[in-house]
């Protein structure tokens, strides 16, 4: 398995994307995940934003990343597709990301639903709209050879029965799951059972621990964690993560394990990286570098 990280870790440290590449190179990490935006903004232009714009040339960016020894594992185009504006805003956003990702050498795109029940729509209506949206998205993804992954993050995607229906929106193998160890936990699920149910569909994994204080205050009430302030291995989800890694190994998963936590400019995510590397070694899981 490969170890990577989401550049969300450096939002609070106002890193640029290139500074994230430098961190990856220093720490012998070769996979990276980031968000994509359309257009530009002052915070992006000034270098205080660790994500990328679709205006940036994907081939030139891929070549720059290669000089650091880093490649994309996934880009995040997760505008919620479950709400009333999902088809009008979210779908074009993902569709524009697909050819960009192909040229950037990125195999996966993350998508998701909204954190809450969508206003003005029944669950059935929202699911029917998402089915049409994913049908359009996956048709294009098939043409480009890109995986569209449903991330566990919101009102629908933290419910395993709903996830099963979503993964059946299309019969294409290009539609898969981005399993998130932290979001599945904070929503009140058993992350191990959740992951086991969908092992054959997992194409990308977010490794996220949960602080004890957050678990006590929010478990079963929230559907996702924006940024976990627990180093991986220090929280109440660490044992679940170990069991999930064992299951992934036994299932033959060879994809990316993307670290998700507050980085504090380096120290917290470096502690997380150390814990994950030690854990993989203890579980006899080779790290691909």
Q: What is the pLDDT of residues 233-249, one digit of tens each?
A: 999 999 999 999 999 99
21 is a domain residue: yes
Q: Using one digit for the tens of pLDDT, what is the confidence trace for 101-116?
A: 999 999 999 999 999 9
pLDDT > 90? residue 261: yes
Q: What is the distance between the alpha carbons of residues 261 and 228, in angstroms, rounded to a whole number?
A: 5
Expressed as residue numbers, the domain containing 11 is 2-282
pLDDT score, position 171: 94
141-157 mean pLDDT: 98
pLDDT > 90? residue 250: yes
Q: Using one digit for the tens of pLDDT, what is the confidence trace for 192-202?
A: 999 999 999 99
pLDDT > 90? residue 140: yes
269-277 mean pLDDT: 98
73-99 mean pLDDT: 97
* Tokens standing for residue 84: 């009333």
* Cβ neighbours of residue 170 closer than 8 Å, sequence gap 6 or more: 134, 135, 138
Tell me how far CA of residue 94 lies from CA of 36, 102, 148, 158, 253, in angstroms: 10, 13, 9, 21, 25
Number of structural domains, the chain? 1
CATH number at residue 72: 3.20.20.150
156 close to 113: Cβ distance less than 8 angstroms? yes
pLDDT score, position 146: 98
Angle at 68 between CA 66 and CA 69, to 5 degrees: 60
Q: Which of 174, 194, 106 is nearest to 134 (CA)?
A: 174
287 is a domain residue: no
pLDDT > 90? residue 226: no
pLDDT score, position 253: 98
pLDDT score, position 124: 97
The fraction of the chain above a pLDDT of 70, given in percent, is: 100
Q: What is the distance between the alpha carbons of residues 1 and 285, in angstroms, rounded to a whole number?
A: 7
pLDDT score, position 88: 97
Q: Beta strand 202-207 with 108-111: parallel, antiparallel or unpaired?
A: unpaired
pLDDT score, position 174: 98
DSSP label of 10? G
Over the range 219-249, which residues count as b (16 or more CB within 10 Å of their CB) and which as e?
eeebbbbeebbbbbbbbbbbebbebbbeebb
pTM of the predicted structure, to 2 decimals = 0.97
241 is a domain residue: yes
pLDDT > 90? residue 17: yes
* Tokens standing for residue 39: 């257009």
pLDDT > 90? residue 227: no
Q: Which of 230, 183, 177 is nearest to 199 (CA)?
A: 177
289 is a domain residue: no
For the chain, what is the mean pLDDT? 97
């Amino acid at each position: 398995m490969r170890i990577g990280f989401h550049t969300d870790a450096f939002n609070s440290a106002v890193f640029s994307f290139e500074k994230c590449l430098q961190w990856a190179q220093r720490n012998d990490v070769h996979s990276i995940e980031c968000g994509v935006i359309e257009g530009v903004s002052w915070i992006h232009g000034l270098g205080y934003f660790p994500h990328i714009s679709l205006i940036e040339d994907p081939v030139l960016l891929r070549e720059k990343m290669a000089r650091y020894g880093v490649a994309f594992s996934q880009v995040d185009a997760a505008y919620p597709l479950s709400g009333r504006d999902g088809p009008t805003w979210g779908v074009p956003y993902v569709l524009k990301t697909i050819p960009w990702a192909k040229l950037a050498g990125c195999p996966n795109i993350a998508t998701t639903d909204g954190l809450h029940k969508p206003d003005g729509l029944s669950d059935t209506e929202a699911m029917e709209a998402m089915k049409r949206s994913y049908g359009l998205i996956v048709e294009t993804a098939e043409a480009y050879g890109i995986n569209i992954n449903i991330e566990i993050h919101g009102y629908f995607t933290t419910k395993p029965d709903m996830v099963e229906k979503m993964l059946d929106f299309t019969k294409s193998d290009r539609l898969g799951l981005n399993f998130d160890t932290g979001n599945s936990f904070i929503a009140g699920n058993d992350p191990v059972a959740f992951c086991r149910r969908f092992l054959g569909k997992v194409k990308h994994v977010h490794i996220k621990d949960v602080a004890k204080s957050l678990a006590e205050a929010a478990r079963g009430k929230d559907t996702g964690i924006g940024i976990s302030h627990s180093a991986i291995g220090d929280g109440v989800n660490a044992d679940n993560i170990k069991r999930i890694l064992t299951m992934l190994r036994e299932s033959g998963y060879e994809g990316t394990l993307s670290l998700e936590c507050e980085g504090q400019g380096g120290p917290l995510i470096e502690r997380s990286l150390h814990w994950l590397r030690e854990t993989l070694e203890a579980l006899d899981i080779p790290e691909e570098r």
